[in-house]
Amino acid sequence: MPLYKQLKDIIKRDISNGIYKHGQKIPSEVEFQESYNISRITIRKALQELTDEKILERRRGKGTYVADVKLERSISTLMSFTEVCEAQNLKPGGRIIKCILEEPTETDRQEMGLKEGEKMVTIERVRYADSVPVSVEMSQFTEKYSFLLGENLNDCSLFELLEKKYGIKFQNYVAVLELVFADKEMSCYLDVPVKCPLLLVTSSNYDQDGAFAFRCQQYIVGTRFKFMV
């Protein structure tokens, strides 16, 4: 295998293992040369190919950095966060903030079509791509989905779990997009400054029979996600 490809594989492995994180500067050409005893031409070729593949990015006057996470998906296509990550060779992850059965407000009851006395399942998670926080998901399911309270949902794809284990598929949804700003809580979850612009995506989701299943609010870091219309 050519030396430049070997260096490419080393850099990609180090990124995957977290030695170089997204947005972090990698060693200079001189430092790579000293570490691996290879020519500058070989190093430049490896770095250029990784830049062309959008794994690295050059910043004029500063050096070469691991490219920031930038997920892409079509707004008209129903895809899980896990599917979006895997389509772009990123490792999906999650961390539960809240997973409880609770009383809905009257507004919740009307918007979700809940019956009198029916409760709702609230699941809130931070979602990660290659360990970088990308969004906070706040989902409210009808009480029919209370079985989710017994599942480990940290690094789990809800769509995949519901389809493979319970035979439930989601076929359509209605989404509304708006611009909001991170409060102190969101800034902590997403590792962004307070008042950082966020994209809020509010959706209503329906199962394969057309029955309302859940609604979801996603607070997304705009610099880490791109919707295509």
Spell out the alpha helix ranges (H) of the chain: 3-16, 29-36, 40-52, 81-87, 106-112, 158-166, 184-190
Indicate the average pLDDT of the chain.
90
Q: Is the pLDDT confidence value at 67 over 90?
A: no
Residues of the chain with CATH 1.10.10.10: 3-66
Question: With contact defined as beta carbons under 8 Å apart, do 72 and 54 qualify?
Answer: no
Residues of the chain with CATH 3.40.1410.10: 71-228
* Mean pLDDT to the nearest integer, 171-194: 91
pLDDT tens, residue by residue, 31-62: 999 999 999 999 999 999 999 988 898 988 88
Domain 71-228, CATH among 2.60.40.420, 3.40.1410.10, 3.20.20.70, 1.10.8.80? 3.40.1410.10
- Distance between CA atoms of residues 121 and 104, nearest Å: 9
- Distance between CA atoms of residues 43 and 2, nearest Å: 11
Q: Which residues of 140-179 are buried (b: 16+ CB within 10 A; e: fewer)?
A: bbbeebeebeeeebeebbbbebbeeeeebebeeeeeeeee
CATH number of this structure's domain 3-66: 1.10.10.10
